[in-house]
Chain A
């Protein structure tokens, strides 16, 4: 199983450009998440989707939009990139009850984004 696949792995954008980060999971998980990792800040939730057709804001949603295209795919869009969005972005998924089941999230390998 591939698990959670993120594309691209690396990207450099100019300020003001737009791009979409792609995420797909093949584990039939209901919930999907986008986090960003910054030095000294840990992992912060940007958006999440509890199920197909629903999305909700996390801790740091400003400057981002998301689309839960179907059960497998959850994309993150930067409409007008800013240097403050330079970060490593992780997508994750979880099955219902996984919190209680102890396995938590399955993460992708990340997208390293630099905005210049």
Chain B
């Protein structure tokens, strides 16, 4: 049972345009959400996060939106740059207990120059 889903395995966007990566979750106990970026032959690195008490969080070119009623979050990258080409994972954790993260299946983003 995949509790965190990224339905688009891949996405291609032209340089300078907006990239929108989507993520859906099923567990209503999730209250904290993160995005990670992964380059080939490297481990994932933290990108941005959002708590369920917010519906938006910005960090430079990256903005994460959370729609709790739809159990949906999205990552917007604007403007997209060639260095943004990577695999992006969304992740979620529950409110209490340990720090375990449940990851989605990933979306490979390719920025076309």
List residues of A whose CB falls within 8 A of some B CB: 4, 31, 33, 35, 40-45, 48, 50, 56, 58, 90, 92, 94, 96, 98-100, 102-110
> CB distance A90 to B43 under 8 Å?
yes
User: What are 8 of the A-B contact pairs (CB < 8 Å)?
Assistant: A48-B98, A56-B98, A94-B99, A99-B93, A105-B46, A108-B43, A109-B42, A109-B43
> CB distance A110 to B43 under 8 Å?
yes
Residues of chain B lying within 8 A (CB to CB) of residue A110: 41-43
Q: Decide yes or no whether B67 CB sits under 8 A from chain A.
A: no
> CB distance B99 to A42 under 8 Å?
no
Residue of A nearest to B105 (CB): A42
| Least Cβ–Cβ distance between B79 and chain A, in angstroms | 24
Query: Which residue of A99, A102, A106 has the most chain B CB atoms within 10 A of its CB atom?
Result: A99
Per-residue A-contact encoding for B70-113, CB less than 8 Å = 1, 0 else = 00000000000000000001010100001111111110000000
Inter-chain residue pair count (beta carbon < 8 A): 65
| In the bound complex, CA of A109 to CA of B100 (Å) | 19
| Least Cβ–Cβ distance between A90 and chain B, in angstroms | 6
> CB distance A100 to B32 under 8 Å?
yes
Q: Decide yes or no whether B65 CB sits under 8 A from chain A.
A: no
Residues of chain A lying within 8 A (CB to CB) of residue B98: 31, 48, 50, 56
Q: Decide yes or no whether B9 CB sits under 8 A from chain A.
A: yes
| In the bound complex, CA of A40 to CA of B89 (Å) | 12
